[in-house]
Every structure is written in C-alpha cells, then in structure tokens.
Structure 1
Amino acid sequence: MLGKLTLAQVFCQPIVPISFVVSFSSLICFFFYCIKSGFTKTDKQISWILTFASSLVCTITSIPFFLLFWRSGWDMTQLGTDSNYHTALVCFFISYLILDLSLGSIYYRNRITLLTGWIHHPLYIGILIWLLRSKSSSFFSTNCLLELPTLVLALGSFREKWRCDILFASSFFLLRLVFHAYMIVALKQRHRLETLWLVAVIVFPLHLYWFYGIVTQQVKRYATHWPVFCKTTPAIITRRRPKHSFLDRICTV
C-alpha cells in the first residue's frame, strides 16, 4: 500500500494552492455575476448558484474518467491513483463546500440546514482531504458523475420551465442508489483503501432518505391532478407547499 502524505505534503504540492486560488476566484466571481446580472433574484435562486457551478463542473469533468472506469470492466485500480488533474478537482469541490457555508451564511442563511450544510460540508471536506493524503483523488473524480442529479435539480431551481422531476428522480435512483450500492461491494472487495467502503456505507442511508422524500413529494404533487383516483380531499388539493420543499433541501453528494 502507498504511504500516506502528511497535510504539509499535500498543501506543498504546487497544484494545490494554485487550484484553490483559481477555484475560489472563479466561484466568487460567478456568484456575484449571477446576482448583479439579475439572473438570480430570489433567496432560493441565489442559494443554488454555487451548487449549480459545482455540479456542472464536476459532472462534465467526471465523464471521461467514468467512461474509462466502465470500459476497464470496473477496474478498482483506477480509483486508487493520483494526478494533478484529480487533485485540482478535489480542491475545487473543497472550495465550493467552504464558500457555500461562508457566503451562504450571509446571503441565504435560512436555507443552510444542519444536516445538508453544517454537518454534510465539513464531513465531506474531511473525506476529501483524506483522499488527497491517501493519493486516491481519482476516486472522487470518477464518481463525480453522481453530481448529475444535483445539476438537474439546480437548473430547475433557477427556472420552473427547466424543472424535470422525472429526470432528477431517475438519475438519482440509478447513480446514488443502484451504482452506489454496487460500489460499496466493489470497494470492500477490491479497493486498496480498506476503509473506503465504510465511507460509502455511511453516506448510503442519507441517499435512501432523500429518495424516499423525492418519491413522497412526487406522489403528493401528482395526486393533486387525480383526486378521484388518489382519493385526495379538497383540503389537501388546495394546501400550499411548504416554504422550503424537500427537493430544495437536497444539495450535493
């Protein structure tokens, strides 16, 4: 097994400070551009700016690595390597997590929940730093395709006409439940990091909880169109949606 890097060794790599500077600068500029240009106006729209940028970059950049992983016959050795490209993407996502909490505390504090914000983000920062120390940042780059459902959700949060609940739910089911479940078994059997599968196990119940919420919300949403078949009472049909719906509270991985 490859030896672990110390934190000092991780941050002494030239690609790390460069990636952080570029990532922080780009995300901050994009955030304020969206606000100043009027593209985002509501509290909800502003809260999705950084998540949209992060999920877009992560989804696009992960595609070639995911295809290589698939074409290799799901060879786990490809998820235990390191390179400047993989390291840069990890630094980018860490930058997003930090900015989502810091800028979010100023511009959309009431939309940062305890679970999906104050617990989720520091937890993932810790996991990503561990991957950098373990020289396995390719694991993150390859699995960033799991950000596709978040990208779909972010687009729908900007404009109602861009919303596609079916695409979101189906991609969430395939990637964050089916593929994730497969990865738990594969990591335990074949990945060089012996405890990485436990990280996947810890995250999986959260995805199950989110998917249960997605299905429940969609049943209630479409039940309003078929009150006779669903035996929905008029009181339920006219009930207003909560200020922050379940989908609004789902963020990243």
Structure 2
Amino acid sequence: MSSPLSLAVMLPTIVPAGPFTISVGLLVTIFYLFRPLYTTSKQISWILTTTAGAVMTLSSLPFLYCYAQAGADVTGVPLLPAFAYVTNRFFQGYLVTDLAIGAVVYRDQVTLSTGWVHHTIYLHIVELAIRRSWMHVFCIAGVMEFPTFLLGLMCLRPRLRNNTVFAVAFFTTRIAFHIALLWSYFVHRDVALGGSAVPAMILAAVLPMHALWFYGCLRGFVRRARTPAPQPTTIRLDIYASATPPILTASPAGVVTSQEVAPHETVVRRSMRIRSRIRRRATQAFVTRSEHARELVRALPALWEIWWSWESGLRAVTPHAMQARGWIEERTGKGVSDYVGLASPPAGNVA
C-alpha cells in the first residue's frame, strides 16, 4: 500500500512541475473554499472527486464530438496534445491531492481498494498514457467520470438524488461506451495506436470492476423494491370546547393529538352538535312516553274498577277509581266512557 511519504518520493520521477502543480494548487483551494459548507466526513470527501468528475467530463467533449463525427470510429479522434497533456496532469493532481488530504481530513473515507490501490494504479496508467502519446485515449475515456460527478453531486446535495439517472448514466458510459472503446481500439490498434494493444488491454482489465459496481447498483434497486413502503402516519384529533389554541403533541407511536381546539365552527363540531341535539330530543321523547306508560300501568287497576262498576250498575266508586278518572280527563281531555270504549255512561249519577 502506498502512503503520502512514498508518493512524495515517487512524484519527482513521475510527474514534472507545471500543469500538475497548478492543478494541485487549484484543487486544494477549491477544497478549503467548499469545506465549511459541509459537516459530514462523507460529504467532505466528495468535494475533490466531484470537481475532478466535472472537469474530466467537460474535457472529454471535444474528443467525443470528433468521435461522433467520424461515425463512432476511434481513428477520427484527434490527438490535441497540449490540451490532452494538461487534462492528464490535472487528473494526476486530483489523485495525489485526494490521497494527501484524505489521509489527514477524511481518513475514514479513504479505503484500501477504492482509495490507495485505485488512485496509485491510475496514477501510473495516466503516466503511461502521457509517455506513450496515448493521452487522447484517456481524455475520451474521461466521459466515464460523468457518473462519478452525478454521484458526488447527489451526495453534496441529497435533494438532487435520482438513482435511476445515475444507473442509466453509469451503464451508458462505463459499460456500453467502455465496451465500444475496447473493441474499437483493439480492432483499429494499427491505425490509432501504432499497433499497440496495451490501451485495449487496460480497458479490458478495468471493465470487470465497472461491471461489479453496476451489479451492486442493480442490487440496490432490487433491495429498495422489496422494502415495503412506509405506512402513512395516523392522525387523531381529540376535540375539546376551549377558547385556547390547539397544542399538538406527538406520542411515541407517531400519533398526533390535540389537547385543545380553537372555538371556530368546524364541520366536525357542527356535525357533533347536531347528533347531540338529536340524541337529546330522542331521549326526552322516550322518557316522556315512558312516564306516561308507567302512570297508565299504575292506573290500570282503578280503570278496571270503574269499568266493572258501570257494568255491574254500581253507583259507589272507590277513591282509586276517582283518582284514575281525574288522571284520564286531565291527560286525554276525554271522558272516562270514551276512554274505556263505552258509547255512553250508564244511567244515573256517579257520586
């Protein structure tokens, strides 16, 4: 595993001053300008990577344009040696700066495989491309950093996260375009690369790593699809007649209650008041009818006595019968004879 000290010893023999030094200075400045905007170690670690992804994607556009104009033929990709040289040195500057700052500031984010090993290998690959005049190959492949730029942007701005866009961009650049470049540079190696198959071999060696990353992306889609959607939060309002504003509290189960509700006429309160009024009227009517029924039951013996007296021709009526007679006339407004179903009272006076 490489370390900042070993890289410092190795750099003078690999990377000369000039564009590399300027790139390192710019990247360090950008890092410390944007670092105060983020708090987590993960976000801080993506500042340099997102910047490098944007620069490499933009730098690949002239080469991609000529590649498309030539009908997807790598023999039509221009060399642009000066521009390609600066771009390659910039990427080397990013690799070294990310390791150096990461070893001090966000050490927990610099892993062995995706940090030290990955950056060290690419540092030598870019140096090989510079020394063998394959800089344009690395520049056109720089569009593969577009998914890295998107991923960094989504990490720095989580509200922009879109897994589908990232997956499509990753497959388009690092799988489909990668395979197209690999095949084209292998088939046209005599014209485009002076007969060397090394760029095609490097592309072939990197492809499994990209395929493994894309497989992990697809597994994430499957895992999220199988995860049940969160249940909606249940809202319960306990309504009380009070003049003070409502005080909302959240229970541990996620149920929101209100201790007091404003006195304004809401639909809920109006419906509750109407139902209460109906229940009160029904209860009063039931109680009234029940009282009448109970009084009638208590008066039945006296009514029977009155009817029996008239049937027997008796003229003397007991006090209970007199009480029942007065109750009937008071409640119904009818005479006793009409109430009990007689057409007319028997002859004589009832004393």
Alignment-mate amino acid for residue 21 of structure 1? T
* CA distance 1:17–1:74, change in 2 (3 Å): farther
Alpha-carbon shift at residue 225 of structure 1 (Å): 3.9
**Distance in 1 of aligned mates of 2:134 and 2:78:** 4
Whether contact under 8 Å (2:175, 2:211) holds in the other structure is: yes
Aligned to 2:345: none
**Distance in 2 of aligned mates of 1:133 and 1:178:** 28
Note if 1:198 corresponds to 2:196.
no
Alignment-mate amino acid for residue 22 of structure 1? I
In the TM superposition, 1:35-74 aligns within 5 A as 35=35, 38-74=36-72
Alignment-mate amino acid for residue 122 of structure 2? Y
**Distance in 1 of aligned mates of 2:73 and 2:221:** 37
**Distance in 1 of aligned mates of 2:14 and 2:110:** 30
Greater C-alpha radius of gyration = 2
Whether contact under 8 Å (2:66, 2:78) holds in the other structure is: no
Note if 1:209 corresponds to 2:232.
no
* CA distance 1:202–1:86, change in 2 (3 Å): same
| Higher RCO (CA < 8 A, seq sep 6+) | 1
Aligned to 1:144: 142
Alpha-carbon shift at residue 81 of structure 1 (Å): 3.1
State which drifts further: 61-70 or 47-56. Answer: 61-70
Whether contact under 8 Å (2:63, 2:78) holds in the other structure is: no
Aligned to 1:243: none
**Distance in 2 of aligned mates of 1:80 and 1:115:** 34
Task: Give unmatched runs, 5+ long, in structure 2.
Answer: 1-10, 231-351
> Which residue of 206, 217, 221 corresponds with 1:218?
221
Alignment-mate amino acid for residue 185 of structure 1? W
Alpha-carbon shift at residue 223 of structure 1 (Å): 2.4
In the TM superposition, 1:176-187 aligns within 5 A as 176-187=174-185
TM-score of the superposition, structure 1-length normalised?
0.79
Alpha-carbon shift at residue 187 of structure 1 (Å): 1.4
Task: Give unmatched runs, 5+ long, in structure 1.
Answer: 1-6, 228-253
**Distance in 1 of aligned mates of 2:77 and 2:122:** 17
Alignment partner of 1:48: what SS? helix
Whether contact under 8 Å (2:66, 2:77) holds in the other structure is: no
Aligned to 1:26: 26
Alpha-carbon shift at residue 218 of structure 1 (Å): 2.0
Whether contact under 8 Å (2:87, 2:139) holds in the other structure is: yes
Whether contact under 8 Å (2:60, 2:142) holds in the other structure is: yes
The count of corresponding residues between Structure 1 and Structure 2 is: 215
**Distance in 2 of aligned mates of 1:108 and 1:22:** 23
Alignment-mate amino acid for residue 23 of structure 1? S
**Distance in 1 of aligned mates of 2:40 and 2:64:** 35
* CA distance 1:10–1:136, change in 2 (3 Å): farther
In the TM superposition, 1:11-22 aligns within 5 A as 17-22=17-22
In percent, how many aligned pairs have the same letter? 31
TM-score of the superposition, structure 2-length normalised?
0.58
Alignment-mate amino acid for residue 24 of structure 2? F
Alpha-carbon shift at residue 71 of structure 1 (Å): 0.9
